[in-house]
Amino acid sequence: MAKTKDYYDVLGIPHRAHIRLVEESYWEQAHVLKDTPTRTAARKLKALNEAYEVLGTPYKRLQYDQERADATIAARRESHPGFLHAFVSLLGRPFRPD
């Protein structure tokens, strides 16, 4: 599983932030970065634009949040399979009466 960027961290906002906070954070950071002509600033601005493109569009944000939730659930299942996983793996084996 490839690790994806956390766009909320890029913008410095909470995960349940309102769209206005997304826009305000983007514009504030972009305004500061545009006056700094360095490669680091250019990379940060690119990441900022990418984050704003996803989180600033309701449909893309919904998809992004769902993908993050699915990845979190899958990671938890892999790290802690638990009783259900053991039970299902036993049922998945073919029955062989000896």
Confidence of residue 84 (pLDDT cuts 50, 70, 90): low
| Full set of structural domains in the chain with CATH | 7-91 (1.10.287.110)
CB 36 within 8 A of CB 29: no
Rounded to an integer, the average pLDDT of 68-76 is 79
Lowest mean pLDDT among 13-17, 46-50, 83-87, 94-98: 94-98
Q: What is the pLDDT of residue 81?
A: 59
CA atoms lying within 13 Å on the CB side of residue 49: 8
pLDDT in tens, 33-57: 877 778 888 888 889 999 999 999 9
Is the pLDDT higher at 53 or at 89? Answer: 53
Q: What confidence score (pLDDT) does residue 69 get? A: 85
Please give the share of the chain, as a percent, with pLDDT higher than 70.
Answer: 73
Place of tokens 């906070």: 21
pTM of the model: 0.68
- For 22-63, the three-class secondary structure string (H helix, E strand, C coil) is HHHHHHHHHHHHHCCCCHHHHHHHHHHHHHHHHHCCHHHHHH
Please name the residues in contact with 10: beta carbons below 8 A apart, sequence gap of 6 or more.
Answer: 47, 48, 50, 51
